[in-house]
Chains A and B, each alone.
Chain A
Amino acid sequence: MSMISRRQLLQGVGAAAALAAARPSLALARGMLTDYVLDEVTGRALAAAKAAGATYADVRIVRRVAESIATREDHVTDVSSSDSYGLGVRVIAGGAWGFAASAHVTGAEAERVARLAVDMAKANAKHVRRPIVMAPVKPATAAWQTPLTRDPFKIPLADKAAFLLAINAEVLKVPGVKFCNSSFEALGEWKLLATSEGAHIEQEITRIAPGYSATAVDATSGEFVSREHELPPSQAGWEYVEASSLLADARKIGEDAVEKLKAPSVTAGKRDLILAPTHLWLTIHESVGHPTELDRVLGYEANLAGTSFATLDKLGKLEYASKIVTLFADKTTPGGLATCGYDDDGVPTQKWDLVKQGKLVAYQTTRDQAAWVNEKESRGTSYAEDFKSFPFQRMPNVSLAPAAGDKGVKDIIAATEDGIYITGNGSWSIDHQRYNFQFGGQMFHEVKKGKITRALKDVAYQANSLDFWRSCDMVGGAREWLMGGTLHDGKGQPVQSNGVSHGCPPARFRKVNVLNTSTRA
């Protein structure tokens, strides 16, 4: 398929086929498909790469904008924004990757960078044992955008700051609360991908992260604790903040901090855990999301992030979890931080099971990895943080499927004799093959004979990923299924940041090792 320029798309010249192939969102695109001057840049990059000997090339022009506001108590401590823009050219020559980037988005610079990338690929080709093979994909011409109604970058700063300061004021009305920090972060990502195979894809993704924490201090004992609000970041506009309960919850968050400070320290031992979606998403991220990244499994991340227990010989065999557990990957769920139309290889995004009824059935792949697991096509999980980053396998949204019925957290608590109900995220840590993990939380409540009895503190649980997932005996229904996530999951060398969400209902895990983390005298 030949490349269709946006100029042609806009003018409707010879583009009927392309328009028909494009997604419905194309017609609704806000402020996109306007900068057709860029087609000359991408065209020159791809032509220069080919002329220098590349067998495959792609070029990404990426603008990444960020805005953040931070406050403490009664004042704003930071207002800042950033804007990075440039082009990155990735090539295959001699079976090896080469990549170079520049902040100067001009045709001449695109050619220089493309030639530099080919030079690097050739230097590397001598030291490649298994030449890169890209799984086929039908080249797309398309546009995709985050559905939103209020662009967070267009909301006046003063309004955002006033919102945060109003939260702080409410939190600080609670006796015993001494500090309150609140913040808002917005990330905007616009990118144009063109490949030597003819793909031409423009996407704009908007992600936001509002949040705050209250700190209670006991002046007599010198003890202090913090309590964070649990609203997750989302791919959304300011309307997400407006519809949230952030402000309405302010007093409660302050009161929780005081309650936590006064709460008795947990008694260590085996307990049943009832994990809320605001907590469980991170456990899924660490113990399912990372172990099923195919590059980790193969050893590509051995030098930093590590490898994985879910090795290739276990595919289709490993009993990862109890039979009531199905964990799926997707880059399509609205609001998910990893959701988009196409990955950075130009592959349309999709949804697939990683663990089906307890069994390991698939991995996360990119075009250059599909052949490793005898798959004909990529699952579409390639991503580069910005123009100067090399695209590689990044985690899609990985989620726990809800069970049939509408069982909620109240039902799970009612069915539990001796347990702890955990919400929100505290400390988290897992080993480099993803066996041994240890998690804290925001709030911990003791459950006795089907009822919440009191708050606890100093709680962490430590387990082996497989033992943990195999101990899952209750999964909530779709009614309480919720996505948590992070804007900044790090992976790779140099480390790149990726936004990713994990949906889940509340669930119960039996007889997990609970620690008391206090070392206070």
Chain B
Amino acid sequence: MLTQAQMKKLLDGVVAAGKKLAKGADFAASAYSARASNTRFARSEITSTGDVDDTVVTVTVSYGRRSASTSTNQTEPAALAGAIQRAQAMARLAPEDPEQMPLLGPQKFLPAPAAFDPATAALPAAARADAAAAAIAAADAAKVDIAGFHELRGGGLGLANSAGLFAFHAATSVAFTATARTPDGTGSGWAQGYTPKWAELDSAAVAKVAVDKSVRAQKPRKLDPGKYTVVLEPAAMDELLEFMLSALDARRADEGRSFFSKKGGGTRIGEAIFGDKITVRSDHTSKATPGQPFTGEGLPLAPIAWVDKGKLAALRYSRFWAQKQGQKPTGSPSVTELLGGDSTPAKLLEGVKRGVLITRFWYSRWLDPQTILATGLTRDGVFLIENGQVVAPVNNFRYNESPVKMLKNADALAQVTTPLAWWEGSLRVPALRTHDFNLASVSDAV
């Protein structure tokens, strides 16, 4: 991957070439340069692996409101000139976009906590193989099968344009997931670890959580579908919350095609839609959620609360829509956190007379954007809770439910929040207890 200095040199060169080749045009360039490496294991043995260092340069050429972008991973001057000329030709042919916004000039960014770990970026394949072996050993000890995936990324995103903007952000990430399955095929367990630093990941410990869960999930009892009190572990929480986050778009709300549209026009900002325990915010300056300080256009990001103690506090505004509506643009931050509450995972179970503990969801899809209704399935650890205790593993379910209702009905959130990989950034969420959750049909899958 390129360092900040190398990135600056590359992008300055691209912008200079752009100004020369595409005279009279506005010109923006971005580059993402990263080493991505991974090791995959399944059936308790390493199955595949990969290592690639790639730099992708994207150039955008605009003649007035005619604009086009093209990207290439060939960074020699001749290849970049070719990309510029391609974007130029495309821009000349492209119809006008009345919503095109002018380039941003130099900006000041709120710095993010250091998120780049050189040791992680340079980690050799043998270290990944050893970590996989440690996870496999944890499974061998319990006589279960294990499959897992270590994915490491060390990369930097740089932006530059003909109006003088330059921005750079580098980060490393380590994502590890493991699924353990009992040999009789009746128990499955899953766990994950996500961190910027390899040294902070204990692969054996993560694997052990998955292994223990698979053993406890063995020979599930049959439980009928219905509406249950549920305790959602962070991964389950996260998957459902993402539907709500994706719907936080101001334009769709203003256009009357969103859950957050107000009847008769406008948005529902200010309305108490969720329970008062719910606060959702993005803050790339926080140590808990270090993230990219700018959007792809170079717009500086600022800490923002989307939901504040249950009230819808903000929606995402693009630069164009913000200008049209007389609002401040928010961009789309790469990190978001649902703040924790005052409970603990053990306390979440207390007071549950009869309910279900859910590890995670799978294959979640939209059912109805009007109500932010989604469907999906439980997997890798579902347990019956009775009188505050986990009493037995139960079958998997399909859910048909809305994250809005899940948050509205939440009466306790764990204090601790857990980071999970989320597109190019991360989400941080606590475990949560909620009621009247629609587990609509049984799934025979294990």
Contact = CB atoms under 8 A, between A and B. Distances in A.
Same complex for A and B? Answer yes
B400 A515 contact: yes
A178 B74 CA distance: 42
A493 B421 CA distance: 14
Given A224-B256, A436-B377, A81 B400 contact: no
Interface stretch (A41-49, A72-80, A190-198, A326-334): A72-80
Given A79-B67, A79-B69, A432-B363, A100 B43 contact: no
Contacts of A86: 52, 54, 73
A433 interface: yes
On chain B, which size bracket covers the interface? 35 or more
Nearest to B133: A127
Interface string A301-328: 1111011010000000000000000000
A434 interface: yes
Nearest to B148: A303
B338 interface: no
Nearest to A218: B256
B68 A80 contact: yes
Contacts of B365: 427-429
B68 A302 contact: no
A129 B47 contact: no
Contacts, number: 261
Give the interface SS of chain B, mostly helix, strand, loop or mixed.
strand
A519 interface: yes
A380 interface: no
Interface residues of A, number: 84
Interface string A272-313: 000000000000000000000000001111111011010000
B368 A517 contact: yes
Interface stretch (A23-31, A115-123, A351-359, A443-451): A115-123
B415 to A, nearest CB: 29
B184 interface: no
B42 interface: yes
A429 B376 contact: yes
A222 interface: yes
Contacts of B409: none
Q: Which of A80, A223, A493 has the most CB of B within 10 A?
A: A493
B445 interface: yes
A76 B445 contact: no
B53 interface: yes
Contact of A123 (B129, B261, B400): B129
A77 B257 contact: no
Given A222-B256, A429-B365, A99 B48 contact: yes
A210 interface: no
A299 B139 CA distance: 15
Nearest to B96: A75
Contacts of A129: 43-45
Interface stretch (A154-162, A199-207, A415-423, A480-488): A154-162
A103 interface: yes
Interface string A457-471: 010101010000000
A79 B94 contact: yes
Contacts of B444: 309, 431, 433, 435-436, 464
Main secondary structure of the interface of A (DSSP, over half): mixed
A431 B45 contact: no
A127 B41 contact: yes
B379 interface: yes
Contact of B49 (A124, A302, A517): A124
B443 A158 contact: no
A165 interface: yes
A129 B146 CA distance: 13
A96 interface: yes
Contacts of A215: 257
Contacts of B264: 219, 222
A433 B446 contact: yes
A75 B50 contact: no
A391 to B, nearest CB: 9
Nearest to B180: A302
Contacts of A135: none
B371 A519 contact: yes
A70 to B, nearest CB: 10
A440 interface: yes
Interface in B188-225: 190
A32 B27 CA distance: 34
Contacts of A121: 49
Contact of A434 (B52, B147, B263, B445): B445
Nearest to A81: B70
A224 B71 CA distance: 36
A84 B73 contact: yes
Interface stretch (B32-40, B159-167, B275-283, B297-305): B32-40
Interface in A70-98: 75-86, 88, 96-98
Nearest to A462: B441
B90 interface: yes
A389 B133 CA distance: 23
A431 B95 contact: no
14 contacts: A81-B71, A82-B58, A83-B73, A84-B72, A85-B74, A120-B125, A124-B129, A427-B365, A432-B362, A432-B377, A434-B445, A438-B441, A494-B38, A494-B50
Which 6 pairs, one residue from A and one from B, show the smallest C-beta to C-beta distance? A433-B445, A436-B443, A431-B445, A303-B147, A302-B147, A101-B52
Interface of B: 36, 38-56, 58, 67-75, 83, 86-87, 90-91, 93-99, 124-126, 128-129, 132-133, 136, 145, 147-149, 151, 177-179, 181, 190, 255-257, 261, 263-264, 362-368, 370-371, 373, 375-377, 379, 396, 398, 400, 402, 440-446
